[in-house]
Amino acid sequence: MKKIKRIMIIALSLLITLAIIVFAFLQQSKFGQLPKGERLEIIKQSPNYKNGQFQNIEHTPDLTEGYGFFSVLYEFLFVKHERTTPTDKIPSQKTRIADLDPEENVLIWFGHSSYYMQLDGKKILVDPVFCGSSSPIPNNIMAFAGTDRYTPDDFGQIDYLFITHDHWDHMDHQTLLALNKKVKKVICGLGTGQHFEYWGYDTNKVIEKDWNEELILDDGFVVNTVTSRHFSGRGLSRNKALWMAYVLKTPSMQVYLGGDSGYGKHFAEIGKKFGTFDLVILENGQYDKKWKYIHMMPNEVLKAAKDLNAKRVFPVHSSKFKLANHAWDEPLKEITKLNEEAKQNLLTPIIGEKVNLKDSTQVFSEWWVGVN
């Protein structure tokens, strides 16, 4: 009996110690801060906030029916899948962004979901992650070799910084600290502004919006916030900040800035409301049939592009971090193959390559072929 009691005391002590370590770990600044005070009261008035959380418009379970959390976690951690991480360096180019002609209308991709645009005289940055990792745990989920070519030092002034949601692979604490003085305006979803305020951003330049709102940025530049189908959270609490997609209207173009999203009826609704898009940027990668409601499969990306009346399609969310069990190059291989029938104007630039936003005839190589 004494032995059992001693074992129980040791086990309890270990659990308490582990809880203290986890609690202390979660207090780090990089986890951000949950909405509070006046911001929280505004959030509570949102029609998309119920029972203490933001909600998707459509029923959106984390996992597909028939799959359990622990079995999926076990597979991700312990079952070996082929070529999930490249052994070769990912090819890339180094474009001197700060030296670009201000009149150039270009897009430059940095891998995964980070990209920069110069459009009609404005400089735009979306979901920047330049720390070399997409995890709060040190030396975990590291960027593939060759993909980490850019840093905050490569940028001059940024007119608009868009954040689609607060996940680690879209919103990096270290990067945002370094960009603070360079950013003129931040556009994000309700609740996300708490992170920026906590990290020292002037609240006057942080603009938080709900879904289905319009924001006039400057002459000829208008943003409409639109629905996506995903979730949010940087720590143990989820869905306290809103996940977003954006319709960006400039003097000469209309662009869809899509964050992470499962396929749903919202794409057709957005296409019907806003008409033709000169460019749509959609996630294509880190998918699995086991979590099909929160990330699109490649065939759904092309379907969403059609729903959005896209003239050109740029698939992102691949080629930098391993966050799923598919081969690292499968997203681009699969969507390119499927597009032989869909016949969308597909953009597949190398990291750092200049995409001419006004040249619909620009041709891109299948750069992933032969990269192991």
Q: How far apart are CA 230 and CA 53, in angstroms?
A: 13
In a domain, 191, yes or no: yes
pTM, full prediction = 0.95
In a domain, 60, yes or no: no
Whether 126 and 15 map to the same domain: the answer is no
Mean pLDDT of 28-45: 97
Identify whether residues 101 and 27 lie together within a single domain. Answer: no
At 263, is the pLDDT very low, low, confident or very high (cuts 50, 70, 90)? Answer: very high
The residue-averaged pLDDT of 187-213 equals: 98
What pLDDT is attached to residue 13?
A: 67
Q: Are residues 245 and 326 both part of a single domain?
A: yes
pLDDT score at 250? 98
> Is 254 a domain residue?
yes
With the C-alpha atoms ordered 187, 192, 193, 198, is the resulting torsion angle positive or negative?
A: negative
Instruction: Flag whether pLDDT at 94 surpasses 90.
Output: yes
Mean pLDDT for the chain overall: 95
Place of tokens 């009346």: 309
Identify the pLDDT of residue 247.
Answer: 98
Give the least confident one: 17-21, 212-216, 276-280. 17-21
What is the structure's pLDDT at 23?
72
What is the domain range of residue 207?
97-356
Residue 105 lies in a domain: yes
Span 207-215, average pLDDT: 98
Task: Look at residue 21 in the predicted model and tell me its pLDDT.
Answer: 73
Rounded to whole angstroms, how far apart are CA atoms 313 and 343?
Answer: 11
Question: What's residue 14's pLDDT?
Answer: 72
- Mark whether 303 and 169 lie in a shared domain: yes
- CB within 8 A of 13, min separation 6: which ones? none
